[in-house]
Amino acid sequence: MATKAKMEGNKRHLDKLDRVIFYVDKGGKDKIKQCAAMAKQSANAYIVTAIRERMERDDLAEIYANTPDLVRAALQNSEK
């Protein structure tokens, strides 16, 4: 079981993040997880990377550039 300090640290970290819920067709979640595994990423990192790449491709780089440093760092780490 996690210590109280660890749980408090996790809460502080989660408080800095937005939560997004979306729906996919039946079987879509498993396909995303498989593709993420092949890319050696978590499903979350895979989805965030896909969104960022789409934003860049659609020339929304200005919006991406204005994202908070914490989010940008997470995106960059997901590429490693």
Instruction: Give me the DSSP letters along 2-51.
Output: --HHHHHHHHHHHHTS--------TTHHHHHHHHHHHTTS-HHHHHHHHH
Half-sphere exposure of 47 (CA within 13 A, CB side): 15
pTM (predicted TM-score): 0.64
**Pairwise CA distance, residues 44 & 20, whole Å:** 11
Band of the pLDDT at 8, cuts 50, 70, 90?
A: very high
**Pairwise CA distance, residues 31 & 50, whole Å:** 14
**Pairwise CA distance, residues 44 & 6, whole Å:** 22
Band of the pLDDT at 46, cuts 50, 70, 90?
A: very high
